[in-house]
Amino acid sequence: MLAAVFISSGIDVVRRPGPRVELAASVATKVAERLPLPSDPEQLVKMNAAVQVVAGLLLALNLLPRLAATALAASLVPTTLAGHRFWDYDDPAQRSQQQIHFLKNVGLLGGLTLAMLDTEGAPSLGWRGRQAARRARRKVSEASEVLGIG
């Protein structure tokens, strides 16, 4: 369900990037300066949309869900900052509408964060690493006792 909004809006943006390009221009140029990405805002908007479609499909199909959620979260931040700058609007109705979309995206980001951290019941990599270290220490200690070392 979380993926549906990304797949749908991503397809729409790939087909019709025009309305988003102007909104994205200021954020796109800043992102392109810091990362090895093209500086053309239209190309960046299309790339972002493509990431949303592909990662959305992966998440929906439960294929690499943590990676897919991470990619969606990374694409959502510039989308939100470029497209829903409610603080730039003087008209109260437009400001309110943009604030709703901004907060909706913050909520989506929260859902993606949960998906990024979800291990589907399996222990985290950190826990697994600590357990492996404990087992290794026990084995070394047992071997030391058998060999009469230390």
The whole-angstrom separation of Cα 90 and Cα 1 is: 34
Measure the CA dihedral 90/91/92/97, to 10°: -100
pLDDT of residue 124: 78
Burial class (CB in 10 A: 0-12, 13-18, 19+), 59: buried
Read off the pLDDT band of 24 (50, 70, 90): confident
pLDDT of residue 19: 86
pLDDT of residue 109: 96
Hey, where are the domains in the chain?
2-118, 123-150
Listed as own residue / partner, the contacts of 140-146 with beta carbons closer than 8 Å and 24 or more positions apart are none
pLDDT of residue 16: 94
What is the pTM for the complete model shown? 0.76
Please work out, in degrees rounded to the nearest 5, the angle formed at the alpha carbon of residue 56 by the alpha carbons of 58 and 127.
60
Handedness of CA 51, 54, 56, 59 (dihedral sign): negative
Q: In sequence order, which ranges of the chain are alpha helices (DSSP H)?
A: 2-15, 18-34, 41-60, 65-83, 92-117, 125-147
pLDDT of residue 150: 65
